[in-house]
Amino acid sequence: MRYLKLFFLACMLTGSLVAAAQDDLSQYSRESFIRKGDTLRYRLLLPANYDSHKKYPLIVFLHGAGERGTDNNAQLLHGGAMFVRDTIRANYPAFVVFPQCPPDQTWAPMKFERDSTGKIIKADFPLDGDPTPPTALLNQLLDSLLAGGKVDTKRVYIGGLSLGGMGTFYEITKRPNIFAAAFPICGAGNVAAADRFAKKVPVWIFHGGDDNVVPVEASRAYDAKLKALGAEEKYTEYPGVGHNSWDNMFVEPGVMPWLFQHRKK
Statement: residue 96 has pLDDT above 60: yes
pTM metric for this prediction: 0.90
pLDDT at 191 over 90: yes
Average pLDDT over residues 121-149: 93
Question: How far apart are alpha carbons 120 and 41 in whole angstroms?
Answer: 31
* 37 φ/ψ sector (left φ>0, alpha ψ -120 to 50, else beta): left
CA 180 to chain centre: 14
Q: What percent of the chain has pLDDT over 70?
A: 88
**pLDDT in the model for residue 19:** 36
The SS3 call for residue 233 is strand
Checking if the pLDDT of 208 tops 90, the result is yes
Percent of the chain with pLDDT over 90: 83
- pLDDT, tens only, 1-18: 444 444 444 444 343 333
> Bigger pLDDT: 182 or 6?
182
Task: Please tell me what DSSP assigns to residue 31.
Answer: E
Residue 168 pLDDT = 98
C-alpha atoms less than 13 angstroms from C-alpha of 206 in its C-beta half-sphere: 25
Whether 225 has a pLDDT exceeding 60, the answer reads yes
In this prediction, residue 112 carries a pLDDT of 67
